[in-house]
């Protein structure tokens, strides 16, 4: 795109009567990747350009027509379309209305070489245009197209383009770009800042930190298993381990062995399924094992006596059968 300058250009921005910061010049670098670009290439030579882009959030007033004679001025092939107005005794205002508050807008523009051009940009507040400030672009007469733009973080709803100090000639612009403060899902966060622009998620939760919010991320924990098939949709667990086979993966199951004791309080986190457990979440065998450690005894006999006492307690609590006590004692005696 050629940015050689032409005309004397200014942009005026109007907002509500509330005191706000004055608008500032916008360059192409001020527009994000979310900005919408209209290049008019889908229009016909001589066709009026008005409501064709309403679906994109922009409506142009009468006065603009597609023209194939100025494409070269915008660095395009001759025959490509630009939006033009050919004026004689007067240049009609061109109003651009935005369907959503717009924080920046601009275009690449060229005028007849003899013209001095002024562009006035207003915001529409409550159906009325109210003036708040101006941005001027001082340019030299002659040459190719130049980009002009304006930005205002408070947003504006309409822009009026005027050509003043004119002689008979033409004004054409192309590559009309605008940054709309659109909130497609109505969650109070603009689409450009919303990690799920089409799914309401005011909290912007993003469990895996990949930039896609949980409300629209098909794999919220980024473990390679889609949420619909993931037994822990918000916890990284590519192996999908589920010790108690209850449909909740071990990474997110508060009672991973299904013994009725939460993991935080469970002294025996992987008790045998369907086995009797005590209040600490331990089966009889686990209770005996955690109660008696051979390394804690100076002689083997003391260890065997501990196992015998623990086996008796386990049997009394219903954790093992009475006839199983002897097996645990024998195993302890043979372990020397």
Answer yes or no: do 20 and 104 share one domain. yes
Of all residues in the chain, the percent with pLDDT exceeding 90 is 48
Mean pLDDT of 262-275: 89
The more confidently predicted of residues 18 and 183 is 183
Q: Which of 43-47, 108-112, 127-131 has the highest mean pLDDT?
A: 43-47
Answer yes or no: do 247 and 306 share one domain. no
pLDDT class of 278 with cuts at 50, 70, 90:
very high
Answer yes or no: do 109 and 157 share one domain. yes
In this predicted structure, the answer to whether residue 6 has a pLDDT above a threshold of 50 is no
Can you give the pLDDT at residue 198? 92
Q: Which residues pair with 11 in a beta bridge?
A: 135
Mean pLDDT of the chain: 82
pLDDT class of 77 with cuts at 50, 70, 90:
confident
The more confidently predicted of residues 165 and 253 is 253
Would 197 be classed as within a structural domain? Answer: no
Answer yes or no: do 37 and 175 share one domain. yes
User: Which of 26-30, 126-130, 217-221, 325-329 shows the lowest mean pLDDT across its residues?
Assistant: 126-130
Answer yes or no: do 163 and 247 share one domain. no
What is the full DSSP assignment across 159-207? EEE---S--SEEEEEEEEEEEE---TT-SSS-GGG-SSTTS--TT---T
pLDDT class of 18 with cuts at 50, 70, 90:
very low
In this predicted structure, the answer to whether residue 181 has a pLDDT above a threshold of 60 is yes
pLDDT class of 274 with cuts at 50, 70, 90:
confident
Answer yes or no: do 160 and 121 share one domain. yes
Query: Which residue range forms the structural domain that includes residue 238?
Result: 220-253
Which of these three, 126, 161, 180, is where a domain ends? Answer: 180
Calpha distance 139→9 (Å, rounded): 7
Would 196 be classed as within a structural domain? Answer: no
Calpha distance 58→202 (Å, rounded): 27
Answer yes or no: do 81 and 97 share one domain. yes
Q: Which residues of 58-91 are buried (b: 16+ CB within 10 A; e: fewer)?
A: bbbbebbbbbbebbebbbbeeebbbbbbebeeeb
Tokens of 23: 């608008």
Answer yes or no: do 85 and 29 share one domain. yes
* pTM confidence score: 0.53
Tally of domains within the chain: 3
Report the half-sphere exposure of 183 (CA within 13 A, side-chain side).
Answer: 9
User: Which of 81-90, 228-237, 244-253, 322-331 shows the lowest mean pLDDT across its residues?
Assistant: 81-90
Answer yes or no: do 269 and 138 share one domain. no
Calpha distance 163→170 (Å, rounded): 10
User: Which of 2-6, 196-200, 210-214, 287-291 shows the lowest mean pLDDT across its residues?
Assistant: 2-6
* Segment 38-53, tens digit of pLDDT: 999 999 999 999 999 9
The more confidently predicted of residues 224 and 8 is 224
Would 186 be classed as within a structural domain? Answer: no
- Cβ(172)–Cβ(70) under 8 Å? yes
pLDDT class of 139 with cuts at 50, 70, 90:
very low
- Give the domain CATH number at 91: 2.60.120
Answer yes or no: do 99 and 129 share one domain. yes
Answer yes or no: do 131 and 236 share one domain. no
Would 171 be classed as within a structural domain? Answer: yes
Answer yes or no: do 51 and 175 share one domain. yes
Q: How many CB atoms lie within 10 A of CB 259?
A: 24
* Segment 222-240, tens digit of pLDDT: 899 999 999 999 999 999 9
DSSP state for residue 73 in the 8-state scheme: G
Calpha distance 80→96 (Å, rounded): 22
What is the full DSSP assignment across 109-176? EEE-TT--------EEETTEEE--EEEEE---SSSS-EEEEEEEEEEEEEEEE---S--SEEEEEEEE
């Amino acid at each position: 795109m050629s940015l050689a300058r032409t005309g004397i250009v200014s942009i005026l921005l109007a907002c509500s009567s509330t005191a706000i910061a004055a608008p500032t010049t916008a360059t192409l670098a001020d527009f994000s990747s979310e900005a919408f670009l209209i290049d008019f290439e889908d229009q016909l030579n001589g066709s009026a350009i008005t409501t064709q882009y309403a679906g994109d959030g922009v409506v142009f007033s009468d006065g603009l027509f597609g023209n194939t004679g100025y494409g070269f001025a915008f660095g395009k092939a001759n025959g490509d379309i630009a939006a033009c107005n050919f004026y004689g005794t007067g240049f009609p205002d061109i109003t651009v209305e935005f369907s959503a508050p717009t924080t920046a807008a601009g275009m690449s523009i060229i005028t007849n070489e003899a013209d001095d051009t002024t562009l006035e940009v207003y915001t529409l507040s409550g159906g009325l245009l109210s003036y708040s400030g101006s941005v001027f672009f001082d340019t030299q007469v002659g040459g190719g197209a130049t980009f002009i733009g304006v930005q205002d973080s408070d947003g504006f709803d309409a822009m009026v383009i005027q050509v003043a100090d004119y002689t008979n000639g033409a004004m054409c612009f192309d590559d009309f770009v605008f940054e709309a403060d659109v909130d497609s899902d109505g969650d109070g966060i603009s689409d450009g800042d919303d990690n799920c622009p089409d799914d309401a998620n005011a909290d912007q939760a993003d469990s895996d930190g990949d930039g896609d919010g949980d409300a629209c991320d098909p794999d919220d924990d980024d473990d390679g298993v889609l949420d619909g098939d993931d037994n822990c949709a918000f916890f990284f667990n590519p192996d999908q381990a589920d010790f108690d086979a209850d449909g909740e993966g071990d990474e997110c199951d508060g009672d991973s062995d299904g013994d009725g004791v939460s993991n935080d309080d469970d002294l025996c986190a992987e008790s045998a399924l369907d086995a009797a457990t005590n209040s600490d979440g331990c089966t009889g065998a686990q209770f005996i094992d955690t109660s008696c450690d051979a390394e804690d005894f100076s002689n083997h006999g003391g260890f065997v006596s501990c196992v015998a006492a623990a086996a008796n307690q386990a049997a009394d609590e219903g954790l093992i059968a009475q006839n199983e006590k002897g097996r645990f004692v024998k195993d302890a005696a043979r372990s020397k």
